[in-house]
Amino acid sequence: MTALPSAVQAPPSAGELLDSCRVLVRPALTEAVGRLHPWVAEMAGYSFGWCEVGGAPAVASGGKGVRQALAVLGARAAGADGRAGVPAAVAVELVHAFSLLHDDIMDGDATRRRRPAVWKAYGTGPAVLAGDALFALAVETLAAAPGGAGGLRLLSAALTDLVRGQADDLLFAARPCTGPERVTPEEYRVMAEHKTGALLGCAAALGAALGGAPEPAVAALDRAGRHLGVAFQLVDDVLGIWGDPAVTGKPAGGDLRRRKKTFPVLAALDSPVAARRLPALLDSPGREAEAADLIEAAGGRAAALAEAHRLTAEAHALLTRLSLAEDAVSGMLRLADHLAGRDL
């Protein structure tokens, strides 16, 4: 009797990939945070969603874990065990947490993941201290890993870009909405690559470097991650205006209330009608819904999503040209599609 062929196992979904990478990385991340001063470690744990103020276990959800997943998949793409990428995953996750703590203070954001931001829960000074500690811990963790000393160059380059992007983002707030000094969509795209894309690119590249990938592959993964990071930011911009607060954890129209010059706003301002009407709407509290409708009518939402999908396609093209482990590259592609289409 002929045996029936065994069922072909479906590849893990993006959500399953994120979950499995979190399980792999979490012990090392917990161990690293445990080396901090107890009070600082508590603030770090709070920022990751592990505990409440005072240290009681939390029911809050943490972040998506995209960066740590890219680091683990980067190592697997190089043909190594995913555990080779864990130090990279821990380092980029610590840097990401550090940047969020400081960003929330600079932007005046009082909430993060549906609860008070660290600076609101513990105070501004303690939050700055916790961010500094996470940054130092990231460097220490990577330097101590096998081959990690060489990876510090990748991490420092990403940090330089991250600071550059944050500086531009802060300066954009003081520039006008119209006229020759206005922020252009292309300037915003460059800022987003620095502020958001650099660390995603670093995650994939650093994991691959620790896994033994050749330099051209490491550079290509960095570029693909940067494209993915900008696409991620543009989708985030769309959700910041039109997203469901129950899903995003952010108040509806919050970016408009703060007059943030996000990509949909800047793209809409290319329309003469929006350029005449939108600045006044943004200056008028309570008219966020009207502003959102005008931005959509002027093509701002469509332009942001089109650019996000273009950049995701570029990331796809870069990844599929690489001669790396096929299953890991496929996982990165599934993550890219997941991030470009989330909750829309």
Residue 249, pLDDT score: 65
Residue 258, pLDDT score: 85
Residue 280 burial (CB count, 10 A): 11
Residue 343, pLDDT score: 54
For the chain, the first-to-last Cα distance in angstroms comes to 50
User: What are the Cα distances from residue 203, in Å, to 22, 65, 147, 149, 170?
Assistant: 14, 11, 15, 15, 25
Separation between Cα atoms, residue 101 and residue 43, nearest integer Å: 10
Residue 222, pLDDT score: 97
- List per-block mean pLDDT (blocks of 10 residues) for the chain, which spans 344 residues: 54 90 96 98 97 90 86 96 97 97 93 93 98 97 92 96 96 93 96 97 97 95 96 94 77 82 96 94 93 97 96 94 92 88 59
Contact 331, 73 (CB under 8 A): yes
**Closest listed residue to residue 335, CA positions, set 8, 21, 10:** 21
Q: Is 114 left (phi over 0), alpha (psi -120 to 50) or beta?
A: left
Q: What is the dihedral of CA 161, 308, 250, 241, to 10 degrees?
A: 120
- Tokens 């944050």 correspond to what residue? 166
Residue 1, pLDDT score: 46
Query: Is 131 exposed, middle or buried (CB count within 10 Å of its CB: 0-12, 13-18, 19+)?
Result: buried
Look up the pTM and report it: 0.91
Residue 342, pLDDT score: 60
Q: How many Å is the Cα radius of gyration of the chain?
A: 21
Residue 254, pLDDT score: 80
111 backbone dihedrals φ, ψ, rounded to 5°:
-125, 150
Name the E strands within 35-162.
111-112, 115-116
Residue 21, pLDDT score: 95
- Please spell the DSSP secondary structure of 78-114, one letter per residue: TTS-GGGGHHHHHHHHHHHHHHHHHHHHHHT--EETT
**Closest listed residue to residue 234, CA positions, set 201, 190, 199, 272:** 190
